[in-house]
Amino acid sequence: METIKTKVLVVGGGPGGYVAAIRCGQLGLDTVLVEKERLGGTCLIRGCIPSKALIHAAGQFEAMARVAEGSRFGISLASPPQLDFAGTVRWKESIVNQLNSGVAGLLKRAKVKVVQGWATFSDAKTCRVTAADTDVVITAEHVILANGSVPVELPFLPFGGPVISSTEALSLPELPKSLVVVGGGYIGLELGIAFRKLGSEVAVVETQQQILPLYDEQLVDPVRRWLKRNHVTTHLGAKAVGLGEGGAGLVIETESRERVMLQADRILVSVGRRPAVDGWGLEHMAVAMDGRFVRVDDRCATSMKNVWAIGDLVGEPMLAHKASAQGEMVAEIIAGHRRRFDPIAIPAVCFTEPEIVSVEGAAGTDLGDTIVATFPFQANGRALSMDGVEDGGFVRVVARKGDHRILKIQAVGSHVSELAGEFTQAMEMGAVLEDIAGTIHAHPTLGEAFHEAAMKGLGQAIHI
């Protein structure tokens, strides 16, 4: 059995783990990365990237289908577009493969040793890695746990057969004629909308009274309108009960306690994710827990000296970009830098139709006296020229009344995900309304709506 001794051991090759490993390598730290599957983790291999590829393909197909139904923008098609779903999946996989190879190349350039296999810890600094052709014991001075998360499985709807998670949804052999989505959060709605655009009949089951229940009604309303216009049935205040007789369809209980059978070729369960804490020896590492998550301080240090944890393993928000930022920080701390994880805001994006962006500061819901200014995309030239105002998007800025400090920025509309960087930068730099109003924004761009919202907050709006 081979034995490896290293300065840093990183467990997990997702956006937290591989970024941590690359930064360790850049800083001259001897580093080993263990990954049981493919480099890139959930985000790159079976989450963020493949879902956005599918969403893009679905949008292209829908646009052509709408043109085939009648001339749009002076463009017409003699016949409806044809979908080769297997070809769509192959194209999606080509994007994943390209990025996976890129991560491998970056790790190699940083002189990070990659060990393929499953790591099982016997103590806080020692693990055994096994695979078909691997049997290695690794000991390290520092351990960075970046194990990620897994989809939550409902006990009465276990994954298998027609019941799938987002992972299987992104690699289906054929397009389902009918799909029921259990869970009206961002994962379920992103995929449900994509499959609807591709031609599936889609229904959504949500226990709360609103889809995307973490957002306010005004922000969600454009998405709700798209779903209604495109005949996506939403069962709110309802809960899944189990499969129908013979495994056909899904039985739900409505708000009035009535049981209804929903026909479905596939049932996508998307009720959240949980940290991957099972099966790799966490119980042998003597680290404190915070509920289901590993407890860390503001440096991502666990209760065990020189054991660090990042990403989905340590709590909400369970987002790839949070994990990457934490991974980079921990690498620098190990190298002797003074760092702590204390962002002003972490952006959240829903790639629904239309998209939603929300960037909130640490103040959360306790904002005190505020100025709330909203600017509609109907008054934005770029949005109109992209036919991006059908469902009524907007940019909203919330600022403290006393000093005009921006506390929250939100937007809903076509392509607003590309504004997330500007929104977050404004929050991180402590911008006030005057800063945004005084910044010249290029015309015509969607970013002008942010500028106009800030001006409206000051009582100076020009185009509304």
For residue 300, give the CATH number of its domain. Answer: 3.50.50.60
User: First and final CA of the chain: distance in angstroms?
Assistant: 71
* pLDDT range class, residue 245, cuts 50, 70, 90: confident
CA distance readout (Å), 432 to 286, 402, 407, 446, 458: 45, 11, 9, 20, 10
Sign of CA dihedral 384, 388, 392, 395: negative
The answer, yes or no, to whether residue 447 has pLDDT greater than 90, is yes
Judgement on whether residues 281 and 177 belong to the same structural domain of the protein: no
Judgement on whether residues 9 and 127 belong to the same structural domain of the protein: yes
The answer, yes or no, to whether residue 34 has pLDDT greater than 90, is yes
* pLDDT range class, residue 216, cuts 50, 70, 90: very high
Predicted TM-score (pTM) of this structure: 0.94
The whole-number average pLDDT for the span 114-121 is: 96
Q: How many helices (H) and strands (E) does the chain have?
A: 12, 24
Domain count, the chain: 3
Condensed to tens digits (0 to 9), the pLDDT of residues 291-300 reads 999 999 999 9
Sequence-distant (6+) residues with CB within 8 A of 40 are 13, 14, 15, 18, 49, 96, 99, 100, 103
67 inside domain = no
For all residues of the chain together, what is the average pLDDT? Answer: 95
Domain that holds residue 113: 2-46+89-151+274-334
- Nearest-Å Rg of the Cα atoms of the chain is 24
- Chosen domain end from 271, 306, 325: 271
448 inside domain = yes
Going by C-alpha positions, the residue among 201, 207, 155, 162 that lies closest to residue 185 is 207
Higher pLDDT, 246 or 200: 200
341 inside domain = no
User: Which CATH number covers residue 377?
Assistant: 3.30.390.30
65 inside domain = no
The per-residue pLDDT for 229 is 95
Judgement on whether residues 392 and 437 belong to the same structural domain of the protein: yes
Condensed to tens digits (0 to 9), the pLDDT of residues 123-137 reads 999 999 999 888 999
Judgement on whether residues 111 and 239 belong to the same structural domain of the protein: no
- Residue 4 near residue 136 (C-beta atoms within 8 A): yes
407 inside domain = yes
Q: How far apart are CA 412 and CA 386, in angstroms?
A: 15
- Chosen domain end from 271, 287, 303: 271
Judgement on whether residues 241 and 133 belong to the same structural domain of the protein: no
- Chosen domain end from 291, 307, 334: 334
Judgement on whether residues 223 and 292 belong to the same structural domain of the protein: no
Across-strand partners of 252? 240, 260
Condensed to tens digits (0 to 9), the pLDDT of residues 342-369 reads 999 999 999 999 999 999 986 555 668 9
Active site residue 415: no
Burial of 87-98, coded b for 16+ CB within 10 Å and e otherwise, reads ebbeebbeebee
**For 116, what's the count of Cα atoms within 13 Å in the CB-facing half-sphere?**
8
The per-residue pLDDT for 365 is 54
437 inside domain = yes
Judgement on whether residues 176 and 228 belong to the same structural domain of the protein: yes
The per-residue pLDDT for 116 is 96
The per-residue pLDDT for 361 is 83
The residue from 441, 443, 451, 463 that is catalytic is 443
The per-residue pLDDT for 40 is 96
The whole-number average pLDDT for the span 15-30 is: 98
52 inside domain = no
The per-residue pLDDT for 178 is 97
Please classify residue 346 by burial: count the beta carbons closer than 10 Å to its beta carbon, then call 0-12 exposed, 13-18 middle and 19+ buried.
middle
The answer, yes or no, to whether residue 376 has pLDDT greater than 70, is yes
Sequence-distant (6+) residues with CB within 8 A of 177 are 200, 201, 265
Judgement on whether residues 144 and 284 belong to the same structural domain of the protein: yes
Return phi, psi of residue 433, to 5°.
-55, -40
Judgement on whether residues 355 and 328 belong to the same structural domain of the protein: no
Q: Provide the percentage of residues in the chain whose pLDDT is more than 90.
A: 94
Judgement on whether residues 145 and 170 belong to the same structural domain of the protein: no
The per-residue pLDDT for 266 is 97
The per-residue pLDDT for 1 is 79
The per-residue pLDDT for 396 is 98
The per-residue pLDDT for 366 is 62
Across-strand partners of 359? 409
Judgement on whether residues 128 and 10 belong to the same structural domain of the protein: yes
The per-residue pLDDT for 71 is 82
3 state SS of 321: helix
Return phi, psi of residue 50, to 5°.
-65, -35
3 state SS of 49: helix
Judgement on whether residues 367 and 323 belong to the same structural domain of the protein: no
DSSP assignment of 338-403, as one string? ------S---EEE-SSSEEEEEE-TTTT---SEEEEEEEGGG-HHHHHTT--TT--EEEEEEETTT
Element holding 230 (H helix, E strand):
none
Longest dimension (CA), the chain: 72
175 inside domain = yes
* pLDDT range class, residue 246, cuts 50, 70, 90: confident
Residue 407 CA from chain centroid, whole number: 22
